Chains A and B, each alone.
Chain A
Amino acid sequence: MRFYEYEAREIVRRAGIPVTEFGFATTPEEAKAAAEKIDGPSVVKSQVLSGGRMKAGGVQFADTPDEAAAHTVDVLKIEIGGQMPRGVLVDTKAEVEQEYYAGVVWDGTAKQPVIIFSPVGGIDIEQVAEEQPDKVGRRHISNLRPLTGFEAKEVIASTGVTGSELNKLVPIVTKLAQLFIDNDMTLAEINPIGRLADGSFIALDAHMDMENEARGRHKKLLAELGVGDDETREAREPTAFELAGEAVDSEDHRGVAGNVTEFDGNLGLVIGAGGGSLTLFDAVRAHGGKPANYCEIGGNPSVSKTCGLAKLVLQKPGVDKIAVMMSIVSNTRVDIVARGVIKACLELGMDPSEKIAIFRIPGAWEDEGFKILDAYGVEYADRSVSMHEAAKRAVEKIGAGS
């Protein structure tokens, strides 16, 4: 889950890292008030989750509070990365002598967090790593032993930074690493950290991602920042169709029939499980099919939940037929899925044999499931028909029908 910059800044401030005076505003009046508090030149920055703000005109400089208010009116109108801004951050325009980079991310191979530091900040760290690799320091940190400070010292010193610079940066980078750990972040980045004329250091911009699975243990922080439980903060906002899928899945706690993603094709998919859905979605596309959606069933969902998901997909505008397919199931019961999808067709006044292009779910309780499908004339396949072959048959059927 990604934080907006104004939230990330607040998290940095709470961790005891110095930040510039800043305010969050959703109206020109609020922006003016924030700029007055700053008492000097300010920067008005669009608050969106994607990058590329500068290029899109989402960052404007102001000399007076009135100018900041005027820029706010403009910036709030600009869509960036398909997203309207949530507001603006009104920030102090700091005069910095040098910019530094500090970040902490997970290394899935080493299975430890890694601190990354560079005395070349303000630009993309991957670019620095490519062009000046000796200017980027990395160091893993233990998952079990508490951080004490030498870890940050080693990373910073490895980039050639020494003297009072080193000693002032160590606590900032240590606090950043501690914040990463304490808040279950998957990314905690300050870019840039600025060195001011008086030799002090200050965080000028921050990026934070919190692991979704850990949101439950940071309820207090999230509530204080005003992050709603329903905010997914994914790369794009969920569509109405996707939200309806979530509603189906939360009907009861038995299994999964959801994780719906909307696409614009004509073949509705009722597919599972995790890896099976990925495989089947690829298979449909490989055979020239156009999926109307992605979804996942698994963990033996109830008939009513499966029915709810199938109904949602069947009713999606532009869907001609659905394909009901999974990899071999051992926990989910074939007969329960069969009953769910047939019930969905019948309740919508549709003919299952017409609407279900193919049913390919082999495994537990398959004989019982196939009996039900036989009764309604639905074409089905057992494990002797591969996932790709089943997808191909579904695509061929829909091609013949349109």
Chain B
Amino acid sequence: MSILVGANTTFIVQGITGREAVNLTRECLDYGAGAKVVGGVTPGRLGREVHGVPVFDTVEQAVAHHGAPIDGSVVTVPPAFTKDAVFEAIENGIKLIVIVTERIPRRDVAQMVELASANDARIIGPNCLGIIVPDVIKMGGIGGPAKDAAKAYTPGSIGVISRSGGMTTEMSSTLTAAGMGQSTAVSIGGDAIIGSSYAELMPLFEADEATEGIVIYTEPGGRMEAQLAQWVAENNSRLPIVAFMAGRFMDEMPGMSFGHAGTIVEGKEDTATEKIARLAEAGITVAEEISEIPALIQAKIDERKS
């Protein structure tokens, strides 16, 4: 099994005629059993096709053409138009929205998230690469072209959650090389405000029988790790977690942003040191190097089984 998406998930690509979106569509169609990309939206391009996917002016037209509710949307429109695109998707009944776009002001993001929760919809991202269920489906650019994604990701029992798109693949590839596959890998995005944090995805993994352990990639900045630590402490989770913390050098450089928009040390709680301490307190093992992750998570899984 998996979380968020599965073999039958249908989705559209908003901004489908953009260069990156055309590639992304190809990759998703080619991967696994082939994603059900049931339409694309670019205003003014009704009637065109992208790799055989019909293009519409509006989400409403795409839903009407499909003849049934559409599960998801990958949003790849420029930052100034993203809020409008996401609002349109939500109002047309779409429940899972992956926002790829970078550099969206956080007020816009916060508005999208608030409208999504009022409509029982979920946002992944922004500034993310999306979701992959190895060998089944990928929704977004995660892992790249189908043959590259197939090299890094294999089916298995580890859930991966990461603030960095590239590191989602690096960690999954490391797990794969050690013979450990992934149930679902989610690139949650690198911004200060994102649709789904670690703690907000944990209940989904908790309910997914195929998942036996969680690996996360974290960075300085924000309170998301503290939120996860709190969730773990309060929920008596069956899932062991191993974390990797990058950007430890940033503790010496408060006020400077590196890597991602949300990655900045603004207060004591933001620092790598403080986050590592919080995670450790909650029983989450923090790996010093990526290569240690497979053995650490395996040991924790074995420990819970015995």
- Pick from B41-49, B164-172, B275-283 the stretch touching chain A: B164-172
| CB-based contact B192/A106 at 8 Å | yes
Q: Does B260 sit at the interface, judged by CB under 8 A? A: yes
Chain B residues touching A, range: 35 or more
* Nearest CB in chain A to that of B288: its residue: A286
Would you list which residues of chain A between 271 and 293 have a CB under 8 Å from chain B?
A: 272-279, 281-283, 285-286
Q: Given A111-B110, A143-B114, A275–B217 Cβ distance below 8 Å?
A: yes
Measured in the bound complex, the distance between the Cα atoms of B256 and A213 in whole Å is 15
Measured in the bound complex, the distance between the Cα atoms of B249 and A261 in whole Å is 12
Q: Given A142-B114, A213-B103, A276–B170 Cβ distance below 8 Å?
A: yes
Q: State how many angstroms separate the Cβ of A115 from the closest Cβ of chain B.
A: 15
Q: Does A328 sit at the interface, judged by CB under 8 A? A: yes
Residues of B within 8 A of A384 (CB): 177
Q: State how many angstroms separate the Cβ of A276 from the closest Cβ of chain B.
A: 5
| CB-based contact B145/A144 at 8 Å | no
Measured in the bound complex, the distance between the Cα atoms of B143 and A142 in whole Å is 36
| CB-based contact B167/A235 at 8 Å | no
Binary interface encoding of chain B residues 2-30 relative to chain A, with 1 for a CB under 8 A from any of its CBs, else 0: 00000000000000000000000000000
Q: Given A328-B166, A384-B177, A387-B170, A282–B247 Cβ distance below 8 Å?
A: yes
Binary interface encoding of chain A residues 356-384 relative to chain B, with 1 for a CB under 8 A from any of its CBs, else 0: 00000011100000000000000000011
| CB-based contact A278/B258 at 8 Å | yes
Q: Given A108-B223, A330-B149, A364-B145, A278–B256 Cβ distance below 8 Å?
A: no
Residues of B within 8 A of A235 (CB): 253-256
Q: State how many angstroms separate the Cβ of B57 from the closest Cβ of chain A.
A: 26
Q: State how many angstroms separate the Cβ of A183 from the closest Cβ of chain B.
A: 10
Q: State how many angstroms separate the Cβ of A217 from the closest Cβ of chain B.
A: 8
* Nearest CB in chain A to that of B169: its residue: A328
Residues of B within 8 A of A212 (CB): 261
| CB-based contact B166/A329 at 8 Å | yes
Residues of B within 8 A of A279 (CB): 167, 170, 244, 246-247, 290
| CB-based contact A386/B166 at 8 Å | no
Residues of A within 8 A of B290 (CB): 279, 386-388
Q: Does A112 sit at the interface, judged by CB under 8 A? A: yes
Residues of B within 8 A of A330 (CB): 141-145, 148-149, 166, 169
Residues of B within 8 A of A23 (CB): none
Residues of A within 8 A of B237 (CB): none
Q: Which of A273, A281, A388 makes the CB contact (< 8 A) with B291?
A: A388
| CB-based contact B110/A143 at 8 Å | yes
Would you list which residues of chain B between 243 and 300 have a CB under 8 Å from chain A?
A: 244, 246-250, 253-263, 288-291
| CB-based contact A386/B193 at 8 Å | no
| CB-based contact A386/B263 at 8 Å | no
* Nearest CB in chain A to that of B291: its residue: A386
Q: Does B212 sit at the interface, judged by CB under 8 A? A: no
Would you list which residues of chain A between 80 and 117 have a CB under 8 Å from chain B?
A: 106, 108-109, 111-113
Interface size on A, residues (CB 8 A): 54
| CB-based contact B166/A108 at 8 Å | no
Residues of A within 8 A of B114 (CB): 111-112, 142-144
Q: Given A112-B110, A144-B111, A214-B107, A234–B291 Cβ distance below 8 Å?
A: no
| CB-based contact B291/A275 at 8 Å | no
Q: Does B105 sit at the interface, judged by CB under 8 A? A: yes
* Nearest CB in chain A to that of B190: its residue: A274
| CB-based contact B174/A386 at 8 Å | yes
Q: Given A235-B256, A279-B246, A181–B288 Cβ distance below 8 Å?
A: no
Q: State how many angstroms separate the Cβ of A366 from the closest Cβ of chain B.
A: 9
Q: Does B63 sit at the interface, judged by CB under 8 A? A: no
Q: Does B224 sit at the interface, judged by CB under 8 A? A: yes
| CB-based contact A108/B291 at 8 Å | no
| CB-based contact B148/A364 at 8 Å | yes
| CB-based contact B105/A274 at 8 Å | no
| CB-based contact B104/A213 at 8 Å | yes
Q: Does A24 sit at the interface, judged by CB under 8 A? A: no
Q: Which of B249, B253, B255 makes the CB contact (< 8 A) with A282?
A: B249
Q: State how many angstroms separate the Cβ of A288 from the closest Cβ of chain B.
A: 14
Looking at A143, A235, A273, A330, the one whose CB has the most chain B CB atoms below 10 A away is A330
Q: State how many angstroms separate the Cβ of B152 from the closest Cβ of chain A.
A: 6
Would you list which residues of chain B between 155 and 208 have a CB under 8 Å from chain A?
A: 162-167, 169-170, 173-174, 177, 190, 192-193, 197
| CB-based contact B107/A143 at 8 Å | yes
Measured in the bound complex, the distance between the Cα atoms of B254 and A69 in whole Å is 35
Q: Does B227 sit at the interface, judged by CB under 8 A? A: yes
Q: Does B222 sit at the interface, judged by CB under 8 A? A: yes
Would you list which residues of chain B between 220 and 239 have a CB under 8 Å from chain A?
A: 222-224, 227
Q: Which of A106, A331, A387 makes the CB contact (< 8 A) with B144?
A: A331
Looking at A217, A276, A329, the one whose CB has the most chain B CB atoms below 10 A away is A276
Q: Which of A144, A277, A328, A389 makes the CB contact (< 8 A) with B152?
A: A328
Residues of B within 8 A of A294 (CB): 258
Residues of B within 8 A of A298 (CB): 166
Q: State how many angstroms separate the Cβ of A208 from the closest Cβ of chain B.
A: 15
Residues of B within 8 A of A276 (CB): 164, 166-167, 170
Residues of B within 8 A of A113 (CB): 110
Q: Given A214-B107, A235-B256, A108–B224 Cβ distance below 8 Å?
A: yes
| CB-based contact A109/B223 at 8 Å | yes
Q: Does A249 sit at the interface, judged by CB under 8 A? A: no
| CB-based contact A109/B258 at 8 Å | no
Looking at B110, B192, B227, B253, the one whose CB has the most chain A CB atoms below 10 A away is B110
| CB-based contact B247/A327 at 8 Å | no
Would you list which residues of chain A between 186 and 238 have a CB under 8 Å from chain B?
A: 186, 211-214, 216-217, 234-236
Closest 6 CB pairs of A and B: A330-B144, A275-B164, A235-B255, A278-B246, A275-B167, A278-B247
User: What are 13 A-B contacts with C-beta separation under 8 Å?
Assistant: A144-B118, A213-B79, A234-B257, A272-B166, A273-B165, A275-B163, A275-B260, A276-B167, A285-B249, A298-B166, A330-B142, A364-B148, A388-B290
Kindly list 14 other residue pairs between chains A and B, CB separation below 8 angstroms, not including A108-B193, A108-B222, A259-B258.
A144-B115, A211-B106, A211-B107, A213-B261, A274-B165, A275-B217, A278-B164, A278-B219, A278-B259, A327-B166, A327-B169, A329-B166, A383-B173, A386-B174
